[in-house]
Chain A
Amino acid sequence: MFEKILIANRGEIAARIIRTCRKLGVQTVAVYSEADKDGAFVRMADESYLLGPAKVSESYMNSTKILTIARESKVDAIHPGYGFLSENASFAKKCEQEGLTFIGPSWQAIESMGSKIKARKMMENAGIPVIPGSNTPLTTAEDAALAADRIGYPVMLKASAGGGGIGMAEVYNEQELKKVFSSNSKRASLLFGDGTMFIEKKIVNARHIEIQLLADSHGNAVHLFDRECSIQRRHQKIIEEAPSPFISESTRQRMGRAAVKAAETINYQNAGTIEFLVDHKENFYFLEMNTRLQVEHPVTEEITGIDIVEQQLKIANGERIEYDQESLFITGHSIEARIYAEDPVSFYPSPGQITRWELPEGIGIRHETAIEKNSKVTPFYDPMLAKLVVSGSSRSEAIQLLNDALEDYRVEGIKTNIPMLKKVINHEKFIEGTTLTSFIEDHYLPMLSK
């Protein structure tokens, strides 16, 4: 195993990775920005180094500085967490050139899945169902309109280099398409350095269901079943659960096999996730591949008993996966609720000084957070404060546990989305397990105006 690794991330995920490293006897190096100098993850690590000012380009995205610290602190490997440099092929390549192990897939795999157009093509060639769409880059509104005509409205306009819902728009007719094309393309080129767009048919009544994968450097690949992530706002997930309450066992198996095939097609190594859209007839379509650890990985850990971060380290170290598909099974049900520093009505961020922070404890309750009693929530990074993960023997038990835990969750000083989470999990559609990706627009927002 590695002796020492650097964690090129912050907050809860840095703390999460450090925990597994401690279990494996691996030493950790934390890097942090000035805004995070009092962060719990900085103290948890064996060594910590200041990156620079709060701005991400001068701290968590500053690959030169991170690599300098990695060299000077003599680490064997770098874990990128999620976000920041985790899906940056050139950073992964630089690690390789420096003789450092990047805990993740090869830079070639990151690159091939980073271009959403390229990824669609590769999956289609491998026989994996993709959403009907344009397989050529669209650079003008006119080209986009022609493609949309061929596919049929409504369509989703997306940035090829995009992610996290940025640059994405749902479009119902040519007029709308022409109106949003240039602004979305401009935003994509500003944020991702590439304004190339593509179009996919809008799948109506869709669910977002994804498959967790593990693949090693010896040609072995397994899936760790599915996660249902349909509850989203602004195309960002809020509540995730495993397994999905919607799909049948045979669909689960088919999706799992398709995901493993996708991994094999691109010679993928390490942990990864294939996101699918699933329609009401259980047809599933490739949406994208996340070539990194996902925020919602704990629900899969809860139902499989597998520490995914541990597997990432072992795979990166050249070890074989200890499991074959037949030895893996689902036990119980797990739900994750993301606790955000935001207004539960406007969804606007709410940075500030936390004055009270008391989290419920008990069997089946797990917290992933780096927030403490006197933490200050700065406006520089993602608004996620914590993840509340519950598990029970059944889905209804898990929902009850989540409801009780949210009732006992005490955060003061800033606004959080806890009131929203409570409303969502008590909604009949959620209890039935029949939620779609449009749940917030269809059911939550109307509740507020009543």
Chain B
Amino acid sequence: MTEIKANMAGSVWKITVKEGERISTGQDIVILESMKMEIPIASEASGQVIKLSVSEGDFVNEGDVLATIE
């Protein structure tokens, strides 16, 4: 099981995967917006998205879990 965490504070601009979806390493799962810049967060693992912990518009801090991959 791999937790994908935010590497900086910002708001969730877009979620690009769905729960249950199979994804591969390097695929973008969430796009954060911080300081007027969009930062794609890619998955570090391949597998199934078992949980999305955030919704679009949510504010996240550095280190917050965005999604869980198994």
Number of interface residues of A (CB under 8 A): 13
Q: Which residues of A contact B8 (CB under 8 A)?
A: 348-351, 379
Note all chain B residues with C-beta closer than 8 A to A378.
9
B1 within 8 A of A: no
Say how far B6's CB is from chain A's closest CB, in angstroms: 10
Does A382 sit at the interface, judged by CB under 8 A? Answer: yes
What residues on B are CB-neighbors of A357 within 8 Å?
none
- Cross-chain contact B11 with A379 (CB below 8 angstroms): yes
A residues 356-380 with Cβ under 8 Å of B? Answer: 378-380
Residue of A nearest to B37 (CB): A349
Residues of B17-68 at the interface with A, using a CB-CB cut-off of 8 Å, are: 34-37, 39
Assembly CA distance A350 to B8 (angstroms): 7
Asked whether A381 is an interface residue with its Cβ less than 8 Å from the other chain, the reply is: yes
Name A's interface SS.
loop
Bound CA span A379–B64, Å: 15
Q: If the complex has contacts A379-B10, A379-B11, are A351 and B36 also in contact, measured as CB distance less than 8 A?
A: no
Q: Kindly state whether residue A383 has any CB partner on chain B within 8 Å.
A: yes
Report the minimum CB–CB distance from B66 to chain A (whole Å): 15
- The answer to whether A348 and B39 touch across the interface, beta carbons within 8 angstroms, is yes
Contacts of B10 in A (CB 8 A): 349, 351, 379
- State the Cβ distance, B55 to closest chain A Cβ, in Å: 15
Kindly report which residue of chain A lies nearest to residue B9, judged by CB atoms: A379
A351 to B10, CA, bound (A): 9
Chain B CB within 8 A of A389 CB: no
Which residues of the other chain, A, contact B9 by a CB distance below 8 angstroms? Answer: 351-352, 378-379
Residues in A with CB closer than 8 Å to B11 are: 379
Which residues of chain B have C-beta atoms less than 8 A from A348's C-beta?
7-8, 37, 39
**How far, in Å, is A428 (CB) from chain B's closest CB?**
30
Question: In this complex, which of B9, B34, B36 has the most chain A Cβ atoms within 10 angstroms of its Cβ?
Answer: B36
Taking CB atoms, residues of chain A closer than 8 Å to B37 are 348-349, 383
- In the bound complex, what is the Cα–Cα distance between A383 and B34 (angstroms)? 9
Q: Considering residues B7, B35, B36, B37, which has the most beta carbons from chain A within 10 angstroms of its beta carbon?
A: B35
**A102-122, CB under 8 A of B: which get 1 and which 0?**
000000000000000000000
**Docked complex Cα distance between A381 and B35 (Å):** 5
Closest to A83 in B: B36
A178 to chain B, nearest CB (A): 22
Taking CB as reference atom, which chain A residue is nearest B32? A379
Residue in chain B with minimal CB distance to A56: B36
Residue of B whose beta carbon sits closest to that of A341: B35
Residue of B nearest to A346 (CB): B39
> In the complex the two chains form, what is the Cα distance from A28 to B59 in whole Å?
33
Q: How far is the CB of A173 from chain B (nearest CB, A)?
A: 25
Render A48-88 as a binary contact track against B, CB cut-off 8 A, 1 for contact.
Answer: 00000000000000000000000000000000000000000
B19: shortest Cβ distance to chain A, in Å?
A: 25
B12 to chain A, nearest CB (A): 12
**In the complex, A341 Cα to B36 Cα: how many Å?**
12
Contact A382 B36 (CB under 8 A): yes
Residues of the A chain whose Cβ atoms lie less than 8 Å from the Cβ of B39: 348-349
Q: Nearest chain B CB to A349's CB is how many angstroms away?
A: 4
Which A residue sits closest to B36, measured CB to CB?
A382
A119 to B9, CA, bound (A): 38
Complex CA distance for A341 and B8, rounded to whole angstroms? 12
Chain B residue with minimal CB distance to A351? B9
Q: Give the residue name and chain of the B residue nearest to A54 (CB).
A: B59
Convert A196-220 into 0s and 1s, putting 1 for each residue whose CB lies closer than 8 angstroms to a CB of B.
0000000000000000000000000
Smallest Cβ distance from B5 to chain A, in angstroms? 15
* B34:A381 contact, CB within 8 angstroms: no
Residues from chain A with a CB closer than 8 A to the CB of B35 are 341-342, 349, 351, 379-383
Chain A hits for B36, CB < 8 A: 381-383
Cβ distance B33 to chain A, nearest Cβ, rounded Å: 8
Residues in B neighbouring A350, C-beta threshold 8 A: 8
Once the chains are docked, how many angstroms separate the CA of A352 from the CA of B9? Answer: 8
Q: Provide the residues of chain B in CB contact with A349, threshold 8 Å.
A: 8, 10, 34-35, 37, 39
3 tightest A-B CB contacts, nearest first: A349-B35, A383-B35, A379-B34
Residues of B within 8 A of A (CB): 7-11, 34-37, 39
23 contacts between A and B (CB under 8 A): A341-B35, A342-B35, A348-B7, A348-B8, A349-B8, A349-B34, A349-B35, A350-B8, A351-B9, A351-B10, A351-B35, A352-B9, A378-B9, A379-B8, A379-B9, A379-B11, A380-B35, A381-B36, A382-B35, A382-B36, A383-B35, A383-B36, A383-B37
Known: A348-B8, A351-B8. 12 other contacts (CB 8 A): A348-B7, A348-B39, A349-B34, A349-B37, A349-B39, A351-B10, A379-B8, A379-B10, A379-B11, A379-B34, A381-B36, A383-B35
